[in-house]
Amino acid sequence: MEKEENLKQENSSPEASNESENTERETVDNQDQTNNTEAEFSPQEKIKELEDKLARAFAEMENQRRRFEKEKDDAFDYGGFSFAKEALNLIDNLERSKLILESDDELKNTNALKKTLEHFGIINKDLISIFTKNNIKPIDCLNKKLDPNLHQAMMEIEDDLKEPGTIIQEVQKGFMIKDRLLRPSLVGVSKKTDKNDQKIEENKENSDK
């Protein structure tokens, strides 16, 4: 009997009653917050929010699709970029061989040299034709203004008949692959004759006379 009375006294203590009251208050507050949140957004507003999220998701998917399409097209169009750039060495080596043979005193004006150069010309044309079929085309640069996007100036050559910056010599042929630069043209450009040099030469001529 004494134990039961002690338990009743403990349960009826002020601390226990306070804890139960706090728990009830927290439950009521949480319910009020939930009700207020639901009341803040009407069904129309929720639908609009979902529509916005769906539209953003579709826009992101469309952007990814376009990006993948572009990467696929670039891979198809320019996938052989490195191979094509290396293959240009064939044309360069043919041109160098041609110059070496033409400058050989023993071979000059011989039928053997003439036939060899003819074969070199055929091979060069075939290579250019193969490149052209694969959208690799040489850059036409002679007698045109220097374009830093297509040409690389290697030297300046005095020429009063041409406007300064005009390409008058092609050191190495440049190529494009579709609309992208494969290799720039190495060129020599014109510049005006230095007037000081002209005066020095004139003074020398006058002194000699």
CATH for 138-209, options being 3.40.190.10, 2.70.50.60, 2.30.22.10, 1.10.630.10: 2.30.22.10
pLDDT at 151 over 80: yes
Predicted confidence band of residue 108 (pLDDT cuts 50, 70, 90): confident
On the question of pLDDT at 148 being above 70, the answer is yes
Q: From the CB of residue 90, how many other CB atoms can be counted at a distance below 10 Å? A: 13
168 or 84, greater pLDDT: 168
Residue 41's pLDDT is 67
Please give the share of the chain, as a percent, with pLDDT higher than 70: 68
Q: How confident is the model at residue 8 (pLDDT cuts 50, 70, 90)?
A: very low
Statement: residue 7 has pLDDT above 50: no
* Order of strands across the sheet that contains 167-172: 151-158, 185-191, 167-172
Residue 200 token pair: 């020095």
